[in-house]
Amino acid sequence: MNYLLTSHVWRQDHNGFSHQDPGFADFVANKKADTVRLYFPPDANTLLWVTDHCLRTWNRINVITAGKQPSPQWLSADAAERHCKAGAGIWDWACTGPSGEEPDIVIACAGDVPTMETLAAVDLVRTALPEIRIRVVNVVDLMTLQSHSEHPHGFADEIFDRLFTTDKPVIFAYHGYPYLIHRLTYRRNNHDNFHVHGFHEEGTTTTPFDIAVMNQIDRFHLALSALRRLPQLAERSAQFGAALERKLEEHKAYVCEHGEDMPEIRDWTWPYGTAAEAGD
Amino acid sequence: MDRYWRAANYLSVGQIYLMDNPLLREPLRAEHVKPRLLGHWGTTPGLNFIYVHLNRLIRKRDLDVLYVCGPGHGGPAMVANTWLEGSYSEIYPDIGRDAEGMRKLFKQFSFPGGVPSHVAPETPGSIHEGGELGYALVHAFGAAFDNPDLIVACVVGDGEAETGPLAAAWHSNKFLNPRVDGAVLPILHLNGYKIANPTLLARMDVGELKSLFTGYGYDPFFVEGSDPMAMHGLMAATLDEAMDRIRDIQTGARKEGWAGDRPRWPMIILRSPKGWTGPKEVDGEKVEDFWRSHQVPVSNARGNAAHRQILEEWMRSYRPEELFDAEGRLLPEIAALAPKREKRMGALPHANGGLLKKDLVLPDWKSFAIEVPEPGGRIAEATRLMGAYLRDVISLNGEARNFRLMGPDETSSNRLDAVFDVTDRVWMEGIEPYDVHLAREGRVMEVLSEHLCQGWLEGYLLTGRHGLFSSLHPHRGLHGQPACEMAEDLGGIALAQADRLVELSVDLPCLAPGP
């Protein structure tokens, strides 16, 4: 049984509260682990891989949540294939600080809008505080988060710990209700450090970015959340934090005045490029 | 045939009540009766009646018939009939076709370690988990799509007929093409009552009832009464007439020059007493033909000798000595009334989709991938690429006719419209010249009821085919309910059903690996 769910919570241009329930994933996650699969491909090539994979399976309930709006593309076909086969992984090209070192903080994401906001948040922090080591983890196959003893796709603890560390703060931007991430990860070593942003039943018909702001899954709130978990930054983070708060006020004033998102939001792109081949 | 029906009724009562002395060779004693009496008698004799008459129709016309049992409480009926025809013992050899097998058959029903009270995935011939209400008819239509030689007889209880999903499901006839799809014969079973109330459809004015189903596009045939012999004659004649009508429709539609009009398919409205042939009264209160027969009509048969006597008289009224030989085997002349081999409804391959499934032919997904020179260096609509991929999935499997895309009118909105390069939306109602991609045939099915999309796809998958449900986010309150098989809600519930069928099919001997 294959489901494609689009036009999800995070775009309410034409619709409103009635179209905002992302709880189908929670409902499916209740079902027996040997049948259910939840996929959150962040872009087109990952969606193609996931679709192809699902149409090859039997005895499964596959739920694919994907966007239909014009969105930035992150991974080439080969990179998408590697990433999807793993189910989740570190996006080296998006991390900051020297490669291979333990990060100061992990920012993780599942879903297309959370992924974009995560990368935009990384951009903000990287610009203001270049010395912070951020690791970006993207999750396509949500059930990798669950313990291997509970779900056949669940990562072994060693693999999970390699991605999420055992002691660093993890900001997790998730497409749906945040509790599901806690449910899936509660046995993991680093669970106490997980801070999940997701849908909080806020908002109705408004701009795409505004509904993200209302649920605090936008780049500014994610960056603020990261700052709060990095006490070593002290004064510098206070100044940066104040700037982020001002941005949120500016955003609210702008959308209420103009009815669309600020140009710097609409036109944001990942400014750093990468090596010859995108993604990993 | 009446003896066959009596045998099925006898076995049904036995399953609900007995754990020993299955053939009543000795007087019924307390220890023969189960300590906890669990099950539903009310709907069961009607289901048995329908099963026996479908057997006759199958043998007479050499049909492939799938029996979708909407009143899922009627587990005893489906188990009894598949045991009588032999398909049950083939799948579960431990439950033999003799007195010892009958004893086990009785004991295991609604018993720890045994089988559930409802029609369930482990019931031979079933694609429909009973108990939750609303999905029988959509499952039936899902099974009929792209199965031109299949007849799906779908029993809709008058309780289930009060639900929203079932009410919408009658419109499925607007999506069934008589040339390339099979037929669904709905049998609306008005036994008049649910748990402690009458049912709406049974109390409706007959003229209104007829208008309702005429308005849905059906031609209702009424079978009404309580005298068994009269009812046998009426039911046999009516099924013959309905089947003639189905064949006429199909023959006409499968000839050159078919105009493409939506046919007026027959349906049967069967009005028979709830708890038919059971105790008329217990403790001075009306039971047969009333809601008190819904579950277990004689509730204290173990502890109360008078109740036990009612039960014994009731079971003996079927005259088991005329039905089973000394070893407990169904007498050969009665057994001969069942269809043979895969024509038996408990052995129909369509009800075991894993037997029939063929893998999809899939294109190379990378040929649809876009170049991403660097992260964020490109803007695209993810689902638009998926649409191109699905277009080729539809083309490559066009001849196999085993893939459908279903959803609540969002194929285009979801940017999957590339599929319309190679197919259309199926639509049996009027088509205007300015309509877009509507046709009598098509791989895309769109209707706003997500219940229909979900149920059609489940029926389609469980009979061995493939598909994809494409939707916006399922609406609040629709899929988001905490769900178990008995919860009230719709999408969630239907999914619970799909999940249960899928998960059970992984382990069950009666089912090949499924969807």
Tell me the pLDDT band of B473, cut-offs 50, 70 and 90. Answer: low
Q: Which residues on chain B are in Cβ contact (under 8 Å) with A66? A: 382-383, 386
Average per-residue pLDDT for chain B = 91
Give the closest of A19, A34, A68 to B503, CB-based: A34
Decide if B515 touches A, using CB distance below 8 A.
Answer: yes
Q: Could you give the C-alpha distances from A243 to A209, A229, A254, A256, B339, in angstroms and in order? A: 18, 17, 16, 20, 79
Q: Give the orientation angle of helix B382-396 with respect to helix A44-55, to 10 degrees.
A: 30
Max CA-CA distance within chain A?
A: 55
| CB proximity under 8 Å: B 117-136 to A | none
Residue ranges of alpha helices (H) inside A129-233 are 157-164, 179-185, 208-214, 219-228
- Interface residue of A51, A65, A201 to substitute, partner B, most B CBs within 10 Å: A51
CA distance B491 to chain A (A): 9
Length of chain A: 280
Number of domains in chain A: 1
Asked if residues B91 and B311 have their Cβ atoms less than 8 Å apart, the reply is: no
pLDDT at B261: 95
Compute the average pLDDT of residues B25-43.
95
Give the closest of B357, B382, B414 to A71, CB-based: B382
Q: Give the orientation angle of helix B44-61 with respect to helix B75-85, to 10 degrees.
A: 40
Compute the average pLDDT of residues B339-351.
97
- Interface residue of B139, B365, B393 to substitute, partner A, most A CBs within 10 Å: B365
C-beta atoms of B495 and A27 within 8 A: yes
| CB proximity under 8 Å: B 426-465 to A | 457-458, 461
- How confident is the model over B255-282, as pLDDT tens digits? 999 999 999 999 999 999 999 999 999 9
Give the closest of B379, B385, B472 to A6, CB-based: B472
Compute the average pLDDT of residues B166-185.
98
Asked if residues B382 and B376 have their Cβ atoms less than 8 Å apart, the reply is: no
The CATH code of the domain that includes A165 is 3.40.50.920
* Residue listed under structure tokens 């009270």: B117
CA distance B360 to chain A (A): 7
CA dihedral sign, ordered A204, A208, A210, A213: positive
Query: Is the pLDDT confidence value at A236 over 90?
Result: no
Q: How many helices (H) and strands (E) does chain A have?
A: 10, 9
Q: By CA distance, what is A34's nearest residue in B?
A: B503
Q: Which residues on chain A are in Cβ contact (under 8 Å) with B410? A: 6-7
Tell me the pLDDT band of B131, cut-offs 50, 70 and 90. Answer: confident
pLDDT at B494: 43
DSSP label of B419: G
What is B74-123 written as a DSSP string? GHHHHHHHHHHHTHHHHH-TTS-SSHHHHHHHHHHBTSTTSB-SS--TTS
Decide if B379 touches A, using CB distance below 8 A.
Answer: yes
Cα–Cα–Cα angle for A61, B118, B230, rounded to 5 degrees: 130
Q: Which residues on chain A are in Cβ contact (under 8 Å) with B479? A: 21, 23-24, 27
The residue type of B150 is L
pLDDT at A22: 82
pLDDT at B477: 34
Residue B251, token pair as written in the block: 């023959």
Compute the average pLDDT of residues B177-193.
98
Tell me the pLDDT band of B506, cut-offs 50, 70 and 90. Answer: very low
C-beta atoms of A61 and B498 within 8 A: yes
Rounded Cα–Cα distance for residues B434 and B418 (Å):
19
- How confident is the model over A110-154, as pLDDT tens digits? 999 999 999 999 999 999 999 899 999 999 999 999 999 999 999
Q: Which residues on chain A are in Cβ contact (under 8 Å) with B385? A: 44-45, 47-48
Query: Is the pLDDT confidence value at B505 over 50?
Result: no
Compute the average pLDDT of residues B328-338.
97
DSSP label of B488: S
More confident residue, B325 or A9: B325
Range of the domain at A61: 2-278
Q: How many helices (H) and strands (E) does chain B have?
A: 15, 13
Closest-CA residue to B182 (of B211, B220, B141)? B141
DSSP label of B152: E
Closest-CA residue to B127 (of B456, B449, B447)? B456
C-beta atoms of A55 and B468 within 8 A: yes
CA distance B164 to chain A (A): 19
Compute the average pLDDT of residues B40-46.
96
- Interface residue of B358, B371, B383, B410 to substitute, partner A, most A CBs within 10 Å: B383
Classified as helix, coil or strand, A60 is coil
C-beta atoms of B377 and A21 within 8 A: no
Compute the average pLDDT of residues B93-112.
96
Compute the average pLDDT of residues B420-449.
97
Question: To which H or E segment does residue B126 belong?
Answer: none
pLDDT at B486: 24
Query: Is the pLDDT confidence value at A91 over 90?
Result: yes
Asked if residues B274 and B294 have their Cβ atoms less than 8 Å apart, the reply is: yes
Compute the average pLDDT of residues B439-460.
95
- How confident is the model over B367-388, as pLDDT tens digits? 999 999 999 989 999 999 999 9
Closest-CA residue to B264 (of B247, B244, B249, B254)? B249
CA distance A217 to chain B (A): 18
Rounded Cα–Cα distance for residues B103 and B21 (Å):
7
Compute the average pLDDT of residues B13-34.
97
Q: Could you give the C-alpha distances from A182 to A46, A140, A192, A198, in angstroms and in order? A: 25, 17, 9, 11
The residue type of A232 is Q
- Provide, rounded to the nearest whole percent, the portion of chain A with pLDDT above 70: 93
Compute the average pLDDT of residues B109-137.
90
Give the closest of B368, B415, B469 to A2, CB-based: B469
Distance of CA B126 to the CA centre of its chain: 7
C-beta atoms of A56 and B360 within 8 A: yes
ipTM of the complex: 0.92
